[in-house]
Amino acid sequence: METGADHAILTLNLTKKFGEFCAVNALNLKVKKGEIYGLLGPNGAGKTTTIKMLCGISKATSGKAFILGKRVPDKIVAREIGYMPQETALYDNLTIEENLEFYGEIFNLKDDQISNKIQKLLDFINLKDWGDEIVRNLSGGMKHRVSLACALIHEPKILFLDEPTVGIDPELRVSFWDYFKELKKSGKTILITTHYMDEARHCDRIGFMRAGKLIAEDKPQQMLIKTGTESLEDAFLKIGVGP
């Protein structure tokens, strides 16, 4: 049986039902190690539900999922996963550093490891001098950056980023993609969801999801060639409504 040892992420007929409603329908997804894979699709396509099953937050109704060859949910594999949820999971009344400390402690990092990582992460997200600032006082874009740092504190190998750039200005979106490319360079695998089709071109491969199913996947450029379109938005519309 395939266990995805060669893949960072593998799902076999992964399915999630809420009552009679099928949110994720027999999804077969393969993401290679070191890839940035973009999961795209309209509201309600099943992207977040897929990520939650992969992170072990939501139990699959049927089918299987493997992360780095291990069937999930799995406590050891959980350590290799970083998850940036759609709504930032930060404590508003704590400082940036305290939030990072909290996430470091969840993963049982030692105090000196935590303080070392905090400095590096603050540098990485360009908030070097902001560690003592209360999260409540930050702009939305800053909170997004802190949320990314929290997902990275335990140096996970796999990152799940659920709409990390939603609601942030175009300039900051560009710098986010610089962060993601840096992370890829350091060997991380990233599964990212986004509604911004234009930014999906940064991904190594993209998958279009609709109604819980993966309806097409390819490299962004190939997707354009295959569909004879000039934008991924048009490609999606063509595939989504096509024969």
Ligand X SMILES: Nc1ncnc2c1ncn2[C@@H]1O[C@H](COP(=O)(O)OP(=O)(O)OP(=O)(O)O)[C@@H](O)[C@H]1O
Binders in 12-51 for ligand X, by CB under 6 A:
18, 23, 41, 43-49
CB of 168 to ligand X, least distance (A): 16
Closer Cβ to ligand X, 43 or 108, answer by number: 43
User: With CB under 6 A, what is the number of residues at the site for ligand X?
Assistant: 10
Closest CB 51 distance from ligand X, rounded Å: 8
The distance of closest approach from Cβ of residue 45 to ligand X in the complex, given in angstroms and rounded to an integer, is 4
Q: How many CA atoms lie within 13 A of 28 on its CB side?
A: 6
Strand order in the sheet with 7-18: 21-32, 7-18, 62-67, 70-71
Residue 156 touches ligand X, criterion: CB under 6 A: no
Whole-number minimum distance, CB 120 to ligand X, in Å? 31
Question: Would you say 47 or 173 has its CB closer to ligand X?
Answer: 47
Query: What count of other Cβ atoms lies within 10 Å of the Cβ of residue 56?
Result: 18
Question: In the complex with ligand X, which residue's Cβ is closer, 95 or 194?
Answer: 194
Q: What is the side-by-side order of every strand in the sheet holding 158-162? A: 81-84, 158-162, 189-194, 36-40, 205-210, 213-218
Buried-state track 11-38, b at ≥16 Cβ within 10 A, e below 16: bbebbbeeeeebbbbebebbbeeebbbb
Shortest distance in whole angstroms from residue 240 CB to ligand X = 13
Q: Which is nearer to ligand X, 22 or 134 (CB)?
A: 22
Residue closer to ligand X by CB (options 95, 147) is 147
- Compose the 47-86 pattern: x for residues touching ligand X by CB under 6 A, - for all others: xxx-------------------------------------
Asked if residue 65 lies in contact with residue 221, where contact means CB atoms within 8 angstroms, the answer is no
3-class secondary-structure state, position 220: helix
Q: CB–CB of 160/36 below 8 Å?
A: no
Which stretches of the chain bind ligand X, using CB under 6 A? 18, 23, 41, 43-49
